[in-house]
Structure 1
Amino acid sequence: MATNVAVVGAGAFGRNHLRVYRELELAGASVRLAAVVDQDQTVRDQTAATYNIPAFPSVEEMLASGISLQAASVCVPTIHHAAAAAPLLAAGTDLLIEKPIAATLEEADQINVLAAKHHRIVQVGHLERFNPAVAAARAHLNRPMFFEAHRLSVFTPRSLDVDVVLDLMIHDLDIVLSLVPSAVREVRAVGLPVLSRTVDIANVRIEFENGCIANFTASRVSTERVRKLRFFQPHQYLSLDFARQDLLLIDVTAAAGLTDAQLAAMIEKHSKPELPGEPKHPTAGMNMSKIPVAPGEPLRLELSAFLEAVRTRELPQVDGVAGRKALALALEINAAIAEHTLRTGL
């Protein structure tokens, strides 16, 4: 039997959920797009006409209609996640909640408690977990000790209810937390508002208990769009481009006797585009290879994984606990930014 699914919130994120659910339905997946919820009547009318589904102004009215529903995507603004999730969970609906899971840790805990009480699936929409390049990188993981993440976007009025840490950086926080089997030891951060009332650009340094260091830069006032993560592990350097779904691996095992300065120079040289006529691997002891990545739309992979979890009752790859963990770190970063701002008077 097909899983009846609703989308709560038909804004920028919700529109994509609607599109992918319908595409999966038309492709023969065991899912049926059953309803949409949005406060805006114009949006409701347009969505209902486009997808030929009933539209409701609230979750409560949708549930009161008696519609048969097994799952839903919660795509409303973050501050409304908990309020939208509560009645759905109580009604026995499995949820995919867009990231971050909630606005506060208390609300995240409420969602997870309700999910456990009603035996419901909660998956959090940390989309990059389903990026094919991330899946390819996991196969080469070997005690990473240094990460560098850059996530830059041009300014858009979308998601201004949260700052850049909760809007953009949280993607990379979640990825790194999933790759480093260690607790966070120290957080240092600086951030500034530029075009909005919240922090629009931030730089963060995190040290883990096992000695791993991670540097994060996020900006939503950039002139270009960048989605990259680089990490270093014993005798290897991996460079991941989320947007292009590319993964480059540089193996320097044969160069293990080099000094740190020589190794850094080698990596820097091979991080640059090759010049015409330049040898592909001019430095002895370095093996640089592009790892094969099977392309795919991350949102389609994410929603397919959610529907599979609903069907099998297996724990989602990004469950409510993982969502809370990423939120906790993001809020700790925001506290560090606030402390730095107060101390420096910026």
Structure 2
Amino acid sequence: MREKIRVGIVGLGFMGGIHLLKLSKIKNAVVSAVFDTDRAKYEGIKDRSIVRCSDYKELVNIVDAIIISSPSTTHYFYTKYFLNEGVHCLCEKPPVMRMRELMSLISIAQRNGLVYNVVMPERANRMVVDILSSVAKSGYVFFADRVAPSYDRSLDTSVLFDIMIHDIDILKEAIPSKIKRVSANGLSLVGADADLLNVRIEYENGGFAILNASRMAKDKKRLLRIFYDGGYISADLIKGSYHRIIFEGGRMVVRKKRVSNTKNDPIMVIDRDFIDSILRGKKSKFSADTLIDVMGVCNLIERRTIFVRKSDLLTY
């Protein structure tokens, strides 16, 4: 294995640019080549040693690993191609939008002995990790509100895969019970799929979860509330703070308030983990096979969603 992993990037949009910056700070990695269908994006790359490819297939002979940050609808195509060519892959979320596609890619990666990871930033968010450690899989009620402006979101897929997938990933770790029932309502305002989504999940243990996601907001908001055996946690993931409440003698008592003032750089953590996984052959918590349950819930929500377009709404 090389001392430095040669990395390529497919897609030089917002996230592609972030990965380019983070990789430049990882000593065991070097960005060797990039590809984007929009050649104008090459103009922003100052490092002249990076090969600007005119075709994605050119990267195969230049890199050991690839980061896929192209539009969501192309993730399956590019990941399948590079895994079949023996290239390690780190893909932006969503990795795909169908379970059969995810299982197919996992199978190719395992057969070829390759690392296939997915960018799931909340798994690298220190505050989320700390919250889930406190909940310890004993949650029974879960509320999540995650909204963002449309101008910095990908509109080529539903808000379910664009935004809500993060909270489904957290929810999976908070409430261990099996799902009993799912209902959902989605509304399309500017995209082809849902831009706003409200989901209610009921569990066999009597618990429930309510998730709201929107990419039609003025400002970003990421709020979590989790009731668990030890009490209640309310978190603001944008501000990086949360407080924990416990129940004593029928009263709610605030026992701890914590503000995360430590440096928190999830993308750097994920990119460095990707390189380490290749060099050391270690299993990663960002491995695509850890998203099987998440993808299952996403596909279930899709099937249960009552979907409406703005043009279909009745006016009075």
What is the aligned partner in structure 1 of residue 118 from structure 2?
124
What is the aligned partner in structure 2 of residue 246 from structure 1?
241
What is the aligned partner in structure 2 of residue 330 from structure 1?
298
Question: What's the CA shift string for 1:141-181, capped at 9, x where partnerless?
Answer: 24111111110112226311001111111111111113333
What is the aligned partner in structure 1 of residue 266 from structure 2?
298
What is the aligned partner in structure 2 of residue 55 from structure 1?
52
Structure with the largest fraction of strand: 2
What is the aligned partner in structure 2 of residue 150 from structure 1?
145
What letter corresponds to residue 175 of structure 2 in structure 1? V
CA distance in 1, matches of 2:217, 2:146: 10
Paired residue for 1:204, among 199, 204, 207?
199
Aligned identity (percent) is 25
CA distance in 2, matches of 1:291, 1:211: 32
CA distance in 2, matches of 1:51, 1:104: 38
Instruction: Give the CA deviation at 1:138.
Output: 2.7
* Secondary structure in structure 2 of the residue aligned to 1:23: coil
Per the normalisation by structure 1, the TM-score is 0.82
CA distance in 2, matches of 1:172, 1:164: 12
Task: Flag the 1:138–1:225 CA change in 2: closer, same or farther, 3 A.
Answer: same
What letter corresponds to residue 272 of structure 2 in structure 1? S
Instruction: Give the CA deviation at 1:309.
Output: 1.6
What letter corresponds to residue 40 of structure 2 in structure 1? T
Question: What's the CA shift string for 1:116-158, capped at 9, x where partnerless?
Answer: 1101111111111111111221331241111111101122263
Instruction: Give the CA deviation at 1:330.
Output: 1.7
Instruction: Give the CA deviation at 1:233.
Output: 0.9
What is the aligned partner in structure 1 of residue 33 from structure 2?
35
What is the aligned partner in structure 2 of residue 231 from structure 1?
226
CA distance in 2, matches of 1:222, 1:43: 28
Equivalent residue pairs, number: 308
Paired residue for 1:222, among 217, 240, 257?
217
The 8 Å contact of residues 149 and 217 in structure 1, kept in 2 or not, is answered as yes
Instruction: Give the CA deviation at 1:46.
Output: 3.4
The 8 Å contact of residues 99 and 323 in structure 1, kept in 2 or not, is answered as no
The 8 Å contact of residues 196 and 216 in structure 2, kept in 1 or not, is answered as yes
What is the aligned partner in structure 2 of residue 2 from structure 1?
4
Question: What's the CA shift string for 1:30-59, capped at 9, x where partnerless?
Answer: 111111111112123433x44630011333
What letter corresponds to residue 214 of structure 1 in structure 2? A
What is the aligned partner in structure 2 of residue 159 from structure 1?
154
CA distance in 1, matches of 2:148, 2:48: 31
The 8 Å contact of residues 37 and 58 in structure 1, kept in 2 or not, is answered as yes
What is the aligned partner in structure 1 of residue 288 from structure 2?
320
What letter corresponds to residue 3 of structure 1 in structure 2? I
Question: What's the CA shift string for 1:228-258, capped at 9, x where partnerless?
Answer: 2111112411122222222322222xx2x32
What letter corresponds to residue 40 of structure 1 in structure 2? D
Quick check: 1:78 aligned with 2:72? yes
Instruction: Give the CA deviation at 1:93.
Output: 1.7
Quick check: 1:95 aligned with 2:97? no
What letter corresponds to residue 115 of structure 1 in structure 2? A
CA distance in 1, matches of 2:144, 2:35: 35
Unaligned runs of 5+ in 2: none
Quick check: 1:287 aligned with 2:255? yes
What is the aligned partner in structure 1 of residue 17 from structure 2?
15
Instruction: Give the CA deviation at 1:293.
Output: 6.0
**Higher radius of gyration, 1 or 2:** 1
What letter corresponds to residue 28 of structure 2 in structure 1? S
* Secondary structure in structure 2 of the residue aligned to 1:116: helix
